[in-house]
Amino acid sequence: MTDTPRPVRAASSKLVSELAERAGIEVVWKNAQHQPQRVSDEVLRVLLDRLGLPCTSTAQARESLALLDAEQRSSHLPLLITAEVGRAIALPVTATKSGTRYRIDLEQGGMIEGMISVPKGERAMLSPVPESGYHTLTLNDRRCTLAVAPTHCFGVADAMRAAGRVERPDSPGGRGARGWGIGVQLYGLREPGDGGIGTYSALGRAAQQIGRAGGDVLALSPVHAMFSAEPHKFSPYSPSSRLFLNVLHIDPAEAFGTAAVQAAIHDLRLGGTLADLESRSLIDWPQAASARLSILRRLFDGLRAGQFGNAPGLALDTFRRRGGHPLEDHARFEVIQGALLAQSPDQGYWRNWPPALRDPASPAVAEAVAATPDEVTFHVFLQWLAERGLARARAEARAAGMAVGLVADLAVGCDSAGSHAWSYPREMLKGVSVGAPPDLFNQSGQAWGLTTFSPRGMVTQGFSAFLDMLRAAFAHAGGLRIDHILGLRRLWLVPDGSSARDGAYLHCPFEDLMRLIALESWRHRAIVIGEDLGTVPSGMRERLADNELLGIRVLWFERRVAKGKIENKADEQPKDSAMAAAPPAKGTDELKTSPVEPFIEPAKWSTHAVATTTTHDLPTIKGWWAGDDIDWRDRIGQTARPAGSDEDPVARAHLERVRDRGLLWAAFQQAGLAPAGVPPPAEAPVDEALAFITLTAAPLVIYPLEDLLGLAEQPNLPGSTDEHPNWRRRIAAPLDALLEEPMLADRLLAIRNLFQSL
């Protein structure tokens, strides 16, 4: 007789919710309309399982709770504790008695000794530390890193002072000297002989030209490492690794001279191909990548043969030693992925590789690359050239007199199939995608197909992977834009294979991350900008402002609802008002139920954020004015069409845009930038829009190059793939040639003069 198996008892909804909350998941959250939403038990179970906290059964859920208890109530010091200068330090340990002695060895020398205090009912406390740095805390026989941060990031005012800019007490917001700059898509810059892709050399020359025009900032698209074996994956916000650089932006002639490059092109018979690529308005990434890598491989072969003397080889060896195992891991990943993809197209994702190759520390990995050591060295060589090119561009920006210089862009995550996820498996989230919940602009929500650091993994590993990434991003920049900075506080996670609606927010160690960013910001003397658009948690922007971490304010979104008013009330405006000259467009009487949302006047824009007209994901001035974004969204199926309604949502959106054009034109008139009594023009008022953001109280104004050139199309259309040429558009001519054209020259001169007059 056999015993009957006892049935597995499913974990109750209450137990699953308790585990989720303990794990940092928001079981109840508020949507863009501030309405509470509850995550379903099914979604919670899947997410918890992906976080390594299974809870299908009651027994599993209790085991997962016990695991969290053990982690959160540990009597051991963590690998790293963060703190702020001059503030008492709370220890995240539970078994420390009051009166226990401790010692802090300061990074720059010196030592602090003291006794722990444990106020009744509170955590153990250390006395404040007076200087920032990565210090060493010793408590009994245990040690950990004590990262003490300044109270705020290195700011625009600090950069301006360091550059000798004169501070004016009467400047907007009373925050001292202001700066301005230009935002560019690096891949879209154009120069003769660039092979069809913008280069780090073009970036450096752009910095020189913008610096001479009076600009202090050149903000660029992400330059993270992509996939050499998969050039069709070219979105700069979906990189293979955020530790390394995009090698396709290398200018081969910068390192080895024009003659050597021309010889390689001749030998490879690439002259016609390159001429064709350079003539196009859209980048052909696979073809351009193949050509560039072929040229670089020919130059690498020449270097190995001693064609360029000993100096380049010695410099490469030094770079390789400095890069250590992270660089070796990335290079090995590139080699292994390329070899396996050549055998089967499903080998792009490392989780599909043979099990022994999924761990970078496995002996099988070393064996796999041992037969072709030059292949690994080639990918190290590529990173060496990329870093050299970006470093030179930064130096050229500073030499041109820019107070800030290059502002790098840090993507919110990386491709889960890339080298970063392969190299740091303990720190990365698995089986989920970072994204965004449904909002007013994307009613289906978003799943970006990206992974990022696990909050628990960061803490248990002493934030080492996060710091490696942060330092790589700051390495050759005077500033850093952090994409989707809301992700430092909480991440919208979507289980792989699920709808973006079926996700939940996971909380991150926000204060720890903010302190580490401030500390690294000062160590690199670099400003920090956080892209804070979307559904912003309560108090988030205030915390960013306290930390002097700049947000971003976009012209299209800086609006306010006029309470008690409805649309199409121009007849009630005073006759001398700006709106009196803008009669309602034909058909706008259909919008009477829509609230009026006037544009905020420049003086009331935030003093804690960058001002800009648009972003890479939003319409340009010209595109917005024409409503091109409305038509594009409809073309790719992003226009909501309510069931049972006969209304044409596209026609309605265009009517709303007519209304909004009138409101924006009124704002320009009220700011003294457009003539009173004149209706909105048919052509986009580009100059007025650029001047409008110049008048704001923002400490830094960034003008997208697309708007300075008066272009209609935006770089990226979220939610599209092949329907829109994302990340492929190139400017029509080299920037120096465009700067000689009256339109752009006059616009930059007007911006400079307006800045000087404020």
Residue 193 and residue 254 share a domain: yes
- Rg over alpha carbons for the chain, rounded to the nearest Å, is 28
Condensed to tens digits (0 to 9), the pLDDT of residues 432-491 reads 999 999 877 677 788 999 999 999 999 999 999 999 999 999 999 999 999 999 999 999
Which residue ranges of the chain lie beneath pLDDT 70?
1-8, 74-75, 94-95, 166-176, 441, 562-595
Place of tokens 């879209």: 188
Asked if residue 652 is part of any domain, the answer here is: yes
Strand 490-495 versus strand 432-436 pairing type: antiparallel
What's residue 219's pLDDT?
99
Backbone angles phi, psi at 180, to 5 degrees: -140, 160
**What's the total number of domains in the chain?**
4
- Whether the CB-CB separation of 333 and 226 falls below 8 Å is answered with no
Residue 684 and residue 605 share a domain: yes
Asked if residue 154 is part of any domain, the answer here is: no
Strand 609-612 versus strand 551-554 pairing type: parallel
**Please, which residues have CB within 8 angstroms of residue 285's CB and are 6 or more apart in sequence?**
197, 231, 232, 234, 248, 728
Task: Look at the pTM and tell me if it is higher than 0.85.
Answer: yes
Asked if residue 568 is part of any domain, the answer here is: yes
Asked if residue 733 is part of any domain, the answer here is: no
Asked if residue 455 is part of any domain, the answer here is: no
Write out the H or E segment, with its range, that includes residue 61. Answer: helix 58-72
Structure tokens at 127: 């006395």
Residue 247 and residue 100 share a domain: no
Residue 190 and residue 134 share a domain: no
Residue 375 and residue 254 share a domain: yes
What's residue 443's pLDDT?
74
Collapse the DSSP code of 453 into the 3-class scheme (helix H, G, I; strand E, B; otherwise coil) and give the result.
strand
What's residue 584's pLDDT?
41
Q: Which of 49, 72, 95 is at the close of a domain?
A: 72
Rounded Cα distance between 553 and 558, Å, is 7
Backbone angles phi, psi at 149, to 5 degrees: -100, 155
Residue 598 and residue 653 share a domain: yes
Collapse the DSSP code of 555 into the 3-class scheme (helix H, G, I; strand E, B; otherwise coil) and give the result.
helix
Using a pLDDT cut of 70, give the percent of the chain over it. Answer: 92
Q: Domain range holding 195?
A: 182-402
Structure tokens at 97: 């008695």
DSSP string, 320-362: HHHHHHHHHHHHHHHHHHHHHHHH-GGGGSGGGS-GGGSSTTS
Place of tokens 């301006």: 160
Rounded Cα distance between 517 and 467, Å, is 9
Asked if residue 172 is part of any domain, the answer here is: no
What's residue 169's pLDDT?
55
Q: Which of 402, 426, 445 is at the close of a domain?
A: 402
Residue 247 and residue 98 share a domain: no
Residue 365 and residue 333 share a domain: yes
Residue 31 and residue 132 share a domain: no
Q: Tell me how crowded residue 379 is: count the other CB atoms within 10 A of its CB.
A: 24
Of 212, 290, 308, the closest CA to residue 253 belongs to 308
What's residue 399's pLDDT?
97
Residue 337 and residue 279 share a domain: yes
Asked if residue 554 is part of any domain, the answer here is: yes
Residue 34 and residue 95 share a domain: no
- Whether the CB-CB separation of 326 and 423 falls below 8 Å is answered with yes
Asked if residue 427 is part of any domain, the answer here is: no
Q: Where are the alpha helices (DSSP H) in 570-725?
A: 621-626, 628-635, 649-670, 686-694, 705-708
Rounded Cα distance between 728 and 749, Å, is 29
Residue 55 and residue 122 share a domain: no
What's residue 562's pLDDT?
57
**Number of alpha carbons in the 13 Å side-chain half-sphere of residue 264:** 23
Residue 372 forms beta bridges with which residues?
none
